[in-house]
Amino acid sequence: MLTWIVARAAGFTAYGLLTCSVVLGLALGLRWRSPRWPRWATTELHRFVTLLTLVFLGLHVLALALDGYMRFGLVELLVPLANHYRPLWTGLGVVAAWLALAVWASTWLQGLIGYRAWRRLHLATFVVYAAATLHGLQAGSDGRRPWALALYAASALTVAALTVARLAAARRPAASRPLERGAASEV
């Protein structure tokens, strides 16, 4: 019972941190900044929140591995679609976890793979986010509770609004983006 509670709590915490990481990443892409909070601080906060996301994701998986009721095997926890419990939805969670790890690792490998490859790989964050959302809604035991639905809806609306803002900003000519001028020197 305790392992199931820890698994659920760690899963929701990882999802909340994932949302924060995506929001911070989009804010960095929008070049939002404050004179009192430099861009490098936002970048470091983004990296730290992403690492915390992975820590709680690991705790989520570990608690599920130790849970005596559901009895997930190692293969079920590490291989997409190999699970006996809602294979599609748990498989999406496994895919999200592996992709999240790859995106995080790409940050440390950026010097080796180059900026363009890093940017392209970073777009997988949207797949991670969508897969994690569907995983929580469909595989999570709390996914249909009103408070959980409110959490997922608030998260999705925030990420969607920032994504739209990011896409709109990318379409504007560089000269009309006042927050970008001089921002490169802060990185």
Where are the chain's structural domains? 2-171
pLDDT band at 32 (very low <50, low <70, confident <90, very high): confident
pLDDT recorded at residue 175: 52
Q: Per-residue pLDDT for 187 more than 90? A: no
End-to-end C-alpha distance for the chain, whole angstroms = 46
Q: Per-residue pLDDT for 184 more than 70? A: no
Average pLDDT of span 113-122: 92
pLDDT band at 179 (very low <50, low <70, confident <90, very high): low
Distance in angstroms (rounded) separating the CA atoms of residues 53 and 125:
13
pLDDT tens figures, 132-177: 999 999 998 898 999 999 999 999 999 999 999 999 988 876 555 5
- On whether the CB atoms of residues 24 and 49 are closer than 8 A, the answer is yes
Average pLDDT of span 79-95: 94
- On whether the CB atoms of residues 53 and 14 are closer than 8 A, the answer is yes
pTM over 0.85: yes
Distance in angstroms (rounded) separating the CA atoms of residues 180 and 158:
22
Average pLDDT of span 102-108: 92
